[in-house]
């Protein structure tokens, strides 16, 4: 409902305090008055708190104030359900229109086609521009391919800035390339998730562009590419990528924050989340969100697996 962590903290503090001016609440919480002023305005906007003529911050019984918010949210949810039901009832008509359009559109796009190395950059650029959904790439050779063309790189950067899911699997041999670290860091900062596999585990190079198609590199530096469009083939390569991604290992970059390392050290010493939050002067939710992000980054499903992963990489003893 838009209640931030800071707003919840102030709201709970006011609920269990006697009516007093805003400055007193700021002092009790150890907050700057400007920050407290901003947070209390959020509470006022949500009608959870109000200030009297003398500046005293007052709150109503939460059953009344939060009850109003819940009523509003439930009304919005009911309206959304109504719209979704209307849309579902329209599906049959949409499907009929779609079949009619197929009949009028003439020959369909071929399910696959060969693409020469000179044509590949334009095809990849088009796939970036017209596809929706995640972009997944398995690369065995980093020095060649359409990804080095300026137009393709611009489309990749556009996809990254738009928040699309970008995942890439690279061979471990690239880590010995002195140029690789800066290249990988730039792409990771832009939002790309990266993992690494042994070179002999990458038998095929391909890219999956949402539901629009798969571009498959044939063996040999100057060989043609294949553009595959059937949904069943896209599903097959998506499944293949997910399995390779599961087997691949993430790599902690050299600029890992000291705060993350400290958090991992405290975890390895057996500290509970609450104790870590107090020790690092962080909110409990912040600590748990960061642990979840580290588990995702290292491909761990449990905290025990996270401990094994970070110890293998030398981040903690």
Q: Which CATH class is domain 258-312?
A: mainly alpha
Q: Is the pLDDT of residue 23 over 60?
A: yes
2-17: average pLDDT: 89
In this structure, whether the domain defined by 112-247 belongs to CATH 3.30.565.10 is answered with no
* Domain 5-59 matches domain 112-247 at the CATH topology level: no
121: which residues sit within 8 A by CB, 6+ positions away? 146, 149, 151, 152
Task: Determine the average pLDDT of the residues in 302-314.
Answer: 81
Q: What is the pLDDT of residue 273?
A: 92
Percent of the chain residues past pLDDT 70, beyond the cut: 90
Query: Cβ distance 243 to 195 under 8 Å?
Result: no
Separation between Cα atoms, residue 116 and residue 246, nearest integer Å: 32
pLDDT attached to residue 154? 84
Tell me which residue has tokens 């907050």: 31
Say if residue 253's pLDDT is above 50: no
Question: Is the pLDDT at 255 greater than 50, yes or no?
Answer: no
171-204 pLDDT per residue, tens:
888 777 777 777 777 787 778 888 888 888 888 8
Q: For residue 79, what pLDDT is reported?
A: 92
List helix spans (H) across 163-283.
180-189, 231-247, 258-268, 273-280
**How sure is the predictor about 108, in pLDDT bands with cuts at 50, 70 and 90?**
low
221 pLDDT more than 60: no
Tokens of 171: 């061979």
Q: How far is CA 101 from CA 49, 94, 95, 220, in A?
A: 56, 10, 10, 41
Residue 208 carries which DSSP code?
E
Length of the chain: 317
pTM given for the model: 0.48
Mean pLDDT of the chain: 84
What is the per-residue pLDDT for 68?
83
Q: Which two tokens stand for residue 57?
A: 């911050």
Beta strands in the chain (DSSP E): 20-21, 50-51, 56-58, 112-115, 135-138, 166-171, 193-197, 205-209, 213-217, 225-228
pLDDT at 100: 74
Q: Is the pLDDT of residue 107 over 70?
A: no
Of 277, 297, 298, 279, the residue nearest 287 (C-alpha): 277
> What residue has token string 């390339």?
177
Least confident window among 40-44, 75-79, 104-108, 195-199:
104-108
Architecture of domain 5-59: Orthogonal Bundle (1.10)
Cβ(244)–Cβ(197) under 8 Å?
yes
Q: pLDDT at position 56, please?
A: 92
Residue bearing the bigger pLDDT, 315 or 78? 78
Q: Domain-by-domain residue ranges, the chain?
A: 5-59, 112-247, 258-312
């Amino acid at each position: 409902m838009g209640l931030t962590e800071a707003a919840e903290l102030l709201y709970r503090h006011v609920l269990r305090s006697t009516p007093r001016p805003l400055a007193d609440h700021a002092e009790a919480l150890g907050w700057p008055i400007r920050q407290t002023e901003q947070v209390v305005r959020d509470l006022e906007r949500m009608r959870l708190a109000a200030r009297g003529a003398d500046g005293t911050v007052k709150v109503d019984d939460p059953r009344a104030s939060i009850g109003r918010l819940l009523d509003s949210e439930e009304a919005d949810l009911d309206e959304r359900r109504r719209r979704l039901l209307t849309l579902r009832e329209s599906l049959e008509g949409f499907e009929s229109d779609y079949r009619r359009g197929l009949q009028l559109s003439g020959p369909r796009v071929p399910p696959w086609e060969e693409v020469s190395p000179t044509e590949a950059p334009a095809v990849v650029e088009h796939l970036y521009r017209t596809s929706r959904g995640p972009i997944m790439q398995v690369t065995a050779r980093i020095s060649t391919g359409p990804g080095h063309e300026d137009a393709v790189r611009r489309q990749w950067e556009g996809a990254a800035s738009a928040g699309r899911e970008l995942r890439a699997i690279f061979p471990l041999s690239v880590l010995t390339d002195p140029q690789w670290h800066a290249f990988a860091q730039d792409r990771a900062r832009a939002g790309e998730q990266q993992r690494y596999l042994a070179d002999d585990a990458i038998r095929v190079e391909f890219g999956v562009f949402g539901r629009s198609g798969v571009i498959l590199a044939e063996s040999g530096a100057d060989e043609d590419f294949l553009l595959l469009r059937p949904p069943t083939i896209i599903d097959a390569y998506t499944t293949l990528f997910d399995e390779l991604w599961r087997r691949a290992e993430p790599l902690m970059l050299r600029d890992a924050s000291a705060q993350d390392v400290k958090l991992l050290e405290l975890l390895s010493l057996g500290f509970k989340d609450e104790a870590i939050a107090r020790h690092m002067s962080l909110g409990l939710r912040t600590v748990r969100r960061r642990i979840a992000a580290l588990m995702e980054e290292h491909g761990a499903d449990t905290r025990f697996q996270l401990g094994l992963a970070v110890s293998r990489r030398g981040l903690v003893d």
